[in-house]
Structure 1
Amino acid sequence: MAHNPTPAAIEAGGLTKSYPGGRGKPPTRALAGLSFAVEPGTIFGLLGPNGAGKSTTVRILATLATADSGKATVAGHDVGRHPGRVRHAIGFVAQKQVSDPMDTGRENLVLAGRLQGLSGPAARARATELLERFSLTDAAGRLVKTYSGGMARKLDVAIGLMHRPRVLFLDEPTTGLDPEARADMWAELEGMARAEEMTVLLTTHYLEEADRLARRLAIVDKGRIVVEGTPGELKDALHGDAVVVELADPARDAGRAREVVAGAGLLREILADGRFLRGRADAGGTALPAVLARLEAAGIAVVSATVARPSLDDVYLRHTGHVFAQLEVAA
């Protein structure tokens, strides 16, 4: 008997989207044939810098925007043909706060439940459950305007969960939070995923967030998926160690440093970006002293040098030719 594979909870095929440039400028292309699929019950991450096309993708999947071309389904429903069915099946947590600051946390949750069709008793019971899950019980009766940023963000996620959606979209859920609040939110999201047993699409520009939360992830660059897999698979595929050397005078030495190291055959995938010289080696601890010796012999001063196992930043660099951290600073 043939085995029928489980249909994807989210599937995007060849999505394109452009926005008018304005004042005679050419259109801005946000998506350029983006395609991916998400298995049911997983946290899937879309990782990329600001402007890569992540939020546009989520808006199309959540029926808040229309693609110029391509097709998408969410929870088995065609986004273009049956947007009402999609909206009933999903929860959506946008980047900006959705709760009413002049209502209490509990009032926001109950209202959200009622808008989704829950009865009064069911909405109140679900609100109590979520307030407890997100450690907001003590603040349930306070106006949201008195909440910290982390508390308000937890409430936004809880609002998105009120009707027990089959698919939850989290668009940059920890943007603007301080490191402590961000770590706290990560712990809450991990617990939520286990308890709710649903599919989660997470967009983020935080490498650590994608590495920690996503079972699988896709890296987005200029409106396309450039690579997809588990965080472990993507890092393991690089093989070897990342070697990074910080130059004292990059304006003078960057090009020459690259030539010196490349000529010695000590590193591969060598890139000079800003003040850093980056490369890969099968045995970074052995290669680094030889690299430093070559640079010293060439009269090239070095400020610091490190060897590390592959990271998602290295994965991004391999597949896009860009350093993720630099793009974030530029954005």
Structure 2
Amino acid sequence: MSDHQPGVAVVAGGAGFIGSHLCQALVARGHEVLCVDNLQTARPSNLQTLEGLPGFTFVEADIVRPLPEAVLGAAERVTRVYNLACAASPPQYQADPEHTMLTNVVGTHHLLRLAERAGARFLLTSTSEVYGDPEVHPQPEGYRGWVSCTGPRACYDEGKRAAEAMTFDYARMGRAEVRVARIFNTYGPNMSPDDGRVVSNLICQALADCEITVFGDGSQTRSFCYVDDMVRGLIALMESDIDGLEPVNLGNPVELTVGDLCDRVLALTGADARRVVFKPLPTDDPRRRRPDIGRARDLLGWTPRVGLEEGLAATCEWFGRELATPVEAARV
């Protein structure tokens, strides 16, 4: 690992679920943080604990457009650029697929140019979606994936694949020092109650005493990583001395079915199992998802620490407090 070098860290998508936790962690490490977000899917309430802290600045901007002077003017002091900008749940990124693709491609280009100008290290948060509906299990970084380039998820899946290609090209051309993380399913506080992801859906439906939706027959699998572990992995990757020319999976390799996840949420919330209803699986929804994290373990010394029971309990507790507040105050 390299010596820690505090300086200005730009976090695009910093008001989002993972981004807001990353901003917190970077401020705690002594960075000045420039949080850039267009608030399209992020929630300003995620930044409440950061507002007013010395060294934290929020800039409302869309990285599809040229970066504002509030960001470019700090380029001489920028040492780290984290790109977490993009809606990450299917209902959100499919709502404006053109913008999703542009965020991944044009937005990544703008941030790479900032990193090049600043001489800063750049980290792209890519996704397990680059593996599509995988035919190899678990998924190692060398697996090239089985992605539909014409389906309703392509704006995100192919957008991230293109963002990876551009990021690695910048590295090969010597224009920027880069890192690429492929993030697997992540959960925890600051998730949006209406983002459509399976953990937030199940918990919010259970707490609201309404119909609990399971898509498919519940046999499809996922691997869920608690957000604190994910942020620790992102910082470890950014600060590592690896050459950066290979992506690194970050996720929890403990695999379970969606049906099992539902049972655990029911047990934690005391919800009635008779409220569970099954609906058709969405198009191109992956049947299995589990990361091979050997590279992260070997290169970064990183493995998840928070077990599912502990993480789900903390997430249920947070949503319980969140949903007790008026919806208008809690959402964008």
User: Under a length normalisation based on structure 2, what TM-score does the superposition of the two structures give?
Assistant: 0.30
Task: Select the structure that is richer in strand.
Answer: 1
Max radius of gyration: which structure?
Answer: 1
Q: Output the TM-score relative to the length of structure 1.
A: 0.30
